[in-house]
Amino acid sequence: MILAGVPSTVKQISMITAAQLRAARLLLGIDQRRLAALSGLSAPTIQRMEASETMVRGNVDSLIKLIAAFDAAGIEMIDEGAVSNSQGRGVRLKLNWRPAEADLDRQPEHKASRRTRSGA
């Protein structure tokens, strides 16, 4: 399968674990809603993926969006068998990483209006 326009890290990763997904999100310091916004997926989809027992379950398009969002945010997924001291799966920040368009410090906007007290 040819994945045109997809970052090379996405092409190299066959599967990711739920633990990698949670670790990558926590490394960025974002919540599930923010990851959903960055990846173009729904929050329930992120919750379902993180709740997987081992390998993340989801359709190929969702997995590609998720890994591409992590790649854009500066996260590298380490596949089983990749060169590392421990030879296990993992995640790490990319060398010389700087946030691109995704402003990770900005919280997602909430559309619910604030209720104010009047004349209390």
Q: Which domains does the chain have, with CATH numbers?
A: 8-93 (1.10.260.40)
**What's the average model confidence in pLDDT over 27-55?**
95
Name the token pair of 107: 């919280």
Name the token pair of 9: 């890290």
Distance CA 67, CA 120 (A): 50
Distance CA 44, CA 111 (A): 18
Strands (E) in the chain, as ranges, are: 75-78, 90-93
Distance CA 5, CA 107 (A): 28
Let me know: does 9 contact 64? Beta carbons within 8 Å: no
Predicted TM-score of the model (pTM): 0.68
pLDDT at 120: 41
Tell me the per-residue pLDDT of 72-116, one tens digit each, with 9 for 90 and over: 999 988 877 666 666 678 888 887 766 554 455 554 443 343 444
